Structure 1
């Protein structure tokens, strides 16, 4: 195998991977994922043409992240030479103020990134654990991190501030924004489609189990719904979204919950699963006849519509609306309902185009282009690494 970049994208219960040739265009060699690490983990692998050629359940029991990575490395070794992997790229959720570009993950960088774990307690430890595991399994390869917070780092200062004392702002209590690797990829797609204006005033809806929206002007982040942590903004699969801080104070002061209990409540027991008491999976809720499921879906759509309005105000208008990630790419029902909530901005959807999942789904009379663009965080990481020369 020629020199290659392996990209590892570790989530709280999944591991996605892709291998690209280190050359212009980054030809894909293979990609895949291991999902549901905590119960009946499933391995899917696609070849260079994107065709699925393996879909296996890896037993009934949970597996560790190390075991998952060992499976991935074995799959790569069965198809390509591991010695050809010169760089391993990682999507890392939080880079703080210091890490805004693709960065070599040496001991100093890793130590600094561990200190940010309290700001993303579900994701950051997993991201960094996989860095250490990859270094032990493929010690010849350089480890490079790309950061979700980086895409939002050039927002206007006013968009990052909270109404807190300056001393806390100086200490880093500000809005960082997340899903930036995905937003960067979508911005590049808009540049390819529209040229330098990149859809001009665009709102991108990254709707997955974690969900956020980003206002972009000419491909640059202006405002976003996640803030200091990945809890903020839109109600999510298991995360609460925006919450009056008084609720947190009340739950602390009533003495029945510790800080760890609250973290578990807000990150793992709230959102769609908390409201519905059925599931955090959007498709399950959409297909359910239970009134609690309907209310959870209604809340998601209401908040998305309301936040689109807020971001359109920051942009002073709207030219392009993009849906991406698991729900955004695959749920025509949710796309249509959110677009209906945004019709006052000139959004009109072509029902048949939307049902088919075409890339352009707006109706002829719409003053806003409405697009469905699959995200590709692994390719985005590889592009950053190639551009950096690391």
Structure 2
């Protein structure tokens, strides 16, 4: 599964650098071609000759030390990579990457590559839980970088806890597993909606809902990682655009309706996770409304039922909807699956703790029109997104066969 893969291994300066030597050997044994980049600090733990012998390739340590005068070294290596792995990834290299700092061969090449980047952190348990490190990890996660979580156990510093570099064989297994899925949506056009809409009353007031867009952004991030040509139509949210995703920002339900419909015919997979307003004020005032005595009534009118119309227009598309309910989850979800002519529906009980709007996790039930059902326990929205897209990609393959 890694046979012929071109892997750049970035080794930064932590005691776990010694494990990177074993990792290099195992990657080569798995059939990969490995080029190693070492930071100056990493060289204080393990010599470059070790990695050169194990990889049978030159080891890169200096941005300005060109191995080939006809190439710009860091660009050539960045373009060469099918996959980029940082192991161990120290707090320092994670911070550099999160803030666009490029002051050595490793950080410069990381900014130049378009290959998928896997980060395997290794550091002291207190460093790993520091707010700045957590913030940097979250930022990189939102950008689409992938993580191989550190293990728990005895650390070189004497502490016991989370921060130990995952074992080399486990890292290789993760990369092998990811490689089998990496192109499952290659050549497919995926359209995803995310976030809320805002329906104005006047220039300073509007109706909306608490949707953060996190689920839709996680879906877009995972779809792009699986090789899809991914378009994300997003309502007003404060989230960074995932790598490799074409983002279209909208505000109102009408905006979203127009943008979705204009792209629907060309799409293969459509996932509507946005929380679109069902109603909007019938009258919108050009000037700010002033307070006056007594009550005020706002007359509302229906917006377009985007999912209903997509179901009616469906030809070759695989259409997935979401149902966010506070009671009778499966009853309403099953009704929506049939009524909207969906291929599958993801049902979330937003009254359950840790699930629903603005959280980082969800517990869901996936139901396909062919009766296939999966109950997913509480998990991160990225994990859930990966599971949803796995089901969708299998269904698309089934339709083609």
Normalised to the residue count of structure 2, the TM-score between the two structures is: 0.25
Q: Greater CA radius of gyration, 1 or 2?
A: 2
**Which is bigger in relative contact order (C-alpha 8 A, separation at least 6)?**
1
Q: Which has the higher helix share?
A: 1
